[in-house]
Amino acid sequence: MTTPNSNRRGHGFATRAIHLGYDPASEHGALTPPVFMTSTYTFESIEEHRAIASGEKDGYVYGRTKNPTQAIFEARLADLEGAEAGLALASGMAAISATLWTLLSAGDRVVIDHTLYGNAFILFTTGLPRFGVSVDVVDLADPAALAEALKAGPKLVYFETPANPNLRVIDIAAVAEAAHAAGAKVIVDNTFATPVLQRPLELGADLVLHSATKFIGGHGDLLAGVVVGRRGDIDQIRAHGLRYLTGATIAPLTAFLLLRGLKTLELRVARHSSTAALVAETLQSHPAVAQVSYPGLPSHPSHEVAARQMSAFGGLIAFELVGGLATGHRFLNRVALAHRAVSLGDAETLVQHPASMTHAQYPAEERRRHGITDGLIRLSVGLETPEDIIADLLQALDEAG
């Protein structure tokens, strides 16, 4: 697996994920950064407050918009994504909504891909229209559909790749080129790939979002979100989307846990990916399995695009059993090592049924139209011993089939 191996200081991905933005000498030699548990900051003079508040001088005013532990995480993740700046928030949905509330106004249009995380989809299709934003739901893997939607002059084009829950893959460079030619900004949710495997900004995206709850945190013990991009955009999202539109501030301790997660991100994602590749092949050759969607399989409809824009294919797999929904339910109830749970990117293997869990917000008809079939199962392959994960899935398949 290839990883980026340079930055301004010429250090590789893992080195930057461990060291960037923090010097122990600045904090009594403490190896790990302190957690700054403070809601407010003090000033030597009223003039100093004015200088910091106006941005003339670096510093902190109030904890809703900025905290030093959070700032280290933001600098580190921005660098790993190849961005100028980053902003961490209280959840992935907070990152999405703070970004959209900042960039959009009544009368604007947005184009989204038809396959998104359920709550993101409902934010676009139900939430934003209440405030006068029009949303076109499009198959972004179809260049003609995108070209048609761009004629209406959208401000933003938004998608996930690989997408939740069915691992659809969108060609980031192609969408960015078409969107920019039409004057639209491109936002990519990079939660499934992480910057270890895919860096959308290098392919032309303007902003990248994550549910940092997932692989970046990596241990199922926090909720967080992050958005990275150009400094001007990020400053705007902090000043408006975070400060008064959502107030969805990340807790200092959560920022600390994210810094800990980042230290092993490259190792963990490599292991998630290698085990998932084995699991995907095993599932594909099992007679009880009707179809497997994993971007690393040559049978994936966009395998070539995935191989171009990702360095490996991540820990998520979607599949459908021959017996459809009923067999799928039996399978879900028979896994013993894997847990039935809606999150992903954790050390534990997690399995869920999108139609009744993460994507229940989609109207049933929309789900069907967008390929989120009732029998689809989503698997987040964990960090356990690969043979144990495979043995558990095989026994559940044999019992369910």
Catalytic annotation, residues: 64, 117, 189, 214
Distance CA 381, CA 294 (A): 12
Q: Is the peptide bond before 298 cis (omega within 30 degrees of 0)?
A: no
Phi, psi of 175 (to 5 degrees): -65, -40
Candidate ranges 89-97, 139-147, 259-267, 302-310; the one touching ligand PLP (CB under 6 A): 89-97
Residue count, binding to ligand PLP (CB under 6 A): 13
Radius of gyration over every alpha carbon of the chain, rounded to an integer in angstroms: 21
Are 351 and 321 within 8 A, CB to CB?
Answer: no
Are 342 and 392 within 8 A, CB to CB?
Answer: no
Give how far Cα 102 sits from Cα of 65, 109, 247, Å.
14, 14, 12
Distance CA 158, CA 30 (A): 41
- The answer to whether 91 contacts ligand PLP (rule: CB under 6 A) is yes
Minimum distance between the CB of residue 52 and ligand PLP, rounded to whole angstroms?
A: 30
Candidate ranges 58-66, 86-94, 281-289, 374-382; the one touching ligand PLP (CB under 6 A): 86-94
- The answer to whether 295 contacts ligand PLP (rule: CB under 6 A) is no
Minimum distance between the CB of residue 184 and ligand PLP, rounded to whole angstroms?
A: 20
- The answer to whether 261 contacts ligand PLP (rule: CB under 6 A) is no
Minimum distance between the CB of residue 305 and ligand PLP, rounded to whole angstroms?
A: 18
Minimum distance between the CB of residue 364 and ligand PLP, rounded to whole angstroms?
A: 20
Residue in 161, 166, 213, 249 binding ligand PLP, rule: CB under 6 A:
213
Adjacency order of strands within the sheet including 316-321: 289-293, 316-321, 376-380, 350-352, 339-340
Minimum distance between the CB of residue 397 and ligand PLP, rounded to whole angstroms?
A: 25
x/- map, 106-125, ligand PLP, by CB under 6 A = -----------x--x-----
Considering only residues 141 through 200, tell me which ones interact with ligand PLP, judged by CB under 6 A: 160, 164, 189, 191
Residue with tokens 């459908």: 320
Distance CA 59, CA 293 (A): 47
| Site for ligand PLP, rule CB under 6 A | 91-93, 117, 120, 160, 164, 189, 191, 211, 213, 223, 225
